[in-house]
Chains A and B, each alone.
Chain A
Amino acid sequence: MAYATNVGVVTVIATEGLTKRYPRVTALDRLTVDIKTGVTGLVGANGAGKSTLIKILLGLSPATEGGAKVLGLDVATEGAAIRAGVGYMPEHDCLPPDVSATELVVHMARMSGMPPTAARERTADTLRHVGLYEERYRPIGGYSTGMKQRVKLAQALVHDPKLVLLDEPTNGLDPVGRDEMLGLIRRVHTDFGISVLVTSHLLGELERTSDHIVVIDGGTLLRADSTSDFTQATAALAVEVTDSEEQLLEKLTAAGLTAHSDGRLLLVDIAGDETYDTVRDAVAELGVGLVRMEQRRHRIAEIFRGESHDSAA
């Protein structure tokens, strides 16, 4: 993958035995994880400790035990310096309805210490980058959920941070809005050069966006890996044809592919780009209709389940 050859890879977040206990619940339990530059997906069910981790990383909530460094700065003592170089997009609504996106983002840029002129220029740039144009002068109260999410992202980016922490940025979006937001998040790293930590409780949606995936559950680290490691084992192509599934299975096996049937679907392990050609040719030779051919979704979900069983065993 691209990040492996990227010479700029450094650790942006490092936690060491990070523990956070509340009177009745342990939100984080000896979490040790290293997060590099790039897009990192932080996956966990609701209550897994994602938001607690973000609060600690911003230096706003002290750890009970252990420690963490963000951009090389200690969360316990250098919170203000961390927050100067980090952007944060909250999970919930956080936008006043009576001001325009421009006014809000300019104000927030100034709260990050940007001089007035720079704040206005950066606001105009950032809002355009997240895809808000003429509507940015209208009060936020009239925006759609997708537009509001963009404003929230813009205020996290306006001061040109080195890292942004995005808490459930796809929450409340419809499938199209979700894809657009994920594409935007990808661009934050590839085009803007800003590292991203993005949380989600939906396991499937982060795999296309993230270079790395960190899975936490009950405040403990379940797995941290690059996305390719996660998906390699089960990278599969689901093929559905109108007829003759068995002959197709034989043909594919004969062509050296690993495949098995799953109901009406054939699951073919992807050995490389040529796999698609092999499948297409085999289907064409049989003369049957190809209903669909798609990469299987929720692969991470399967791994996640597998890991849970392993760790439980």
Chain B
Amino acid sequence: MTAQPDVTPDVIHDIGYRHYDGPRLGRAYARRSLYSQSLRGAYGLGRSAKSKVLPMILFAVMCAPAAIIVAVAIGTSMTKLPVEYTRYAIIMQAVISLFLAAQAPQSVSLDLRFKVTPLYFSRPIERIDYVAAKFAALATALFALTAIPVAILYVGALLAKFDFGSQTAGFAKALVAELLLSLLYAGLGLLIAALTPRRGFGVAAIIAVFTLSYGAVSSVQAVASVQGNPGAIGWLGLFSPITLIDGVQTWWLGSTSSYVDAAGPDSALAGVVFLVVLLAVIGGSFGLLMRRYRKVGLS
């Protein structure tokens, strides 16, 4: 045996630096990791207990009416649900806006305010990876918020033995509408939030944009209704996020409009314009976010 005691002063070598020669998984993996971290973050998972409170309450508030409707539908002798699947998100729009106002700034403002972005951009991931991961994560969080209550309605409808074909068709349409809504809301919410490193401003600005635009559009629509101008009611719907979604689903998915007098887009042309505007706003907000982050860089 050689002299073992000699090893003792070198104890530090046991915890010495070890090089890493395992796999390095590249951009797609980093993007996925950022996506899942941001998605979990939108519901406060992996963050402090305090940051779970609001998203979880809002999620519960979104689901509660659906659960009540289902309970009533099963307990009584209804033949169909009292609310259309596509209508649910429109009715609950205030909750969705609140969730967006709370979580979009959470997702991007902190990185800007505390200048964390240089830590990302000094790694192999690119600007588009960061923006795409944040966008997709918030859209997924919103989709979960809007689609799960509708799924509760659907399961309830099946348990109540409503007509399977029509229920499934209605549910599928609602999923499409909610996907579009999630992309639209995520894009606008992130864009507004990314403009300011102050989270409070971001929250206030998102609430203002969503509620004021809806309030303005609804009141002008009401005026148009009084003046007997149904065409104008439809076109006015272009100017706020939720009425834009309503217009698209009324024309494309055949749901009942929640506009004044149920006057959705009044022609095929109007419907196409609604869909084009919706897609342009989603694409535009992604493009503007990319521009916003070009300036951020390392500084």
Please report A residues at the B interface, Cβ cutoff 8 Å: 55, 58, 60-61, 80-81, 83-84, 86-88, 90, 92-99, 103, 107-108, 110-115, 118, 122, 125, 128-129, 139, 155, 159-160, 191-193
Number of A-B pairs whose CB atoms are under 8 Å? 105
Pick the contact of B114: A86, A95, A112 (CB < 8 A): A95
Please tell me if the beta carbons of A113 and B119 are within 8 angstroms of each other in the complex: no
Chain B residues closer than 8 Å to A86, beta-carbon distance: 122
Report the nearest A residue to B36, measured CB to CB. A110
Please tell me if the beta carbons of A115 and B25 are within 8 angstroms of each other in the complex: yes
Please tell me if the beta carbons of A159 and B114 are within 8 angstroms of each other in the complex: no
Please tell me if the beta carbons of A113 and B24 are within 8 angstroms of each other in the complex: yes
B14 to chain A, nearest CB (A): 12
Report the nearest B residue to A81, measured CB to CB. B124
Q: How many residues of B contact A (CB 8 A)?
A: 37
Please tell me if the beta carbons of A80 and B126 are within 8 angstroms of each other in the complex: yes
A156 to chain B, nearest CB (A): 8
A82 to chain B, nearest CB (A): 9
Please report B residues at the A interface, Cβ cutoff 8 Å: 15-20, 22-27, 29-30, 33-34, 37, 46-48, 51, 110-111, 114-116, 118-126, 297-298
A152 to chain B, nearest CB (A): 9
A203 to chain B, nearest CB (A): 25
Please tell me if the beta carbons of B25 and A113 are within 8 angstroms of each other in the complex: yes
Chain A residues closer than 8 Å to B121, beta-carbon distance: 60
Please tell me if the beta carbons of A193 and B119 are within 8 angstroms of each other in the complex: no
Provide a sorted-by-A list of 17 A–B residue pairs whose CB atoms are within 8 angstroms: A58-B298, A60-B121, A86-B122, A90-B119, A92-B115, A94-B114, A95-B114, A95-B116, A99-B47, A111-B119, A111-B120, A112-B124, A113-B23, A114-B20, A115-B23, A160-B20, A191-B17
Report the nearest B residue to A117, measured CB to CB. B22
In Å, the complex CA distance between A108 and B34 comes to: 10
Chain A residues closer than 8 Å to B33, beta-carbon distance: 107, 110-111
Please tell me if the beta carbons of B118 and A159 are within 8 angstroms of each other in the complex: no
Please tell me if the beta carbons of B115 and A60 are within 8 angstroms of each other in the complex: no
Please tell me if the beta carbons of A90 and B118 are within 8 angstroms of each other in the complex: yes
Chain A residues closer than 8 Å to B30, beta-carbon distance: 110-113
Please tell me if the beta carbons of A96 and B114 are within 8 angstroms of each other in the complex: yes
Please tell me if the beta carbons of B37 and A107 are within 8 angstroms of each other in the complex: yes
What 5 A-B pairs have minimum CB-CB distances, sorted nearest first?
A: A88-B122, A160-B20, A113-B24, A110-B33, A192-B17
A158 to chain B, nearest CB (A): 9
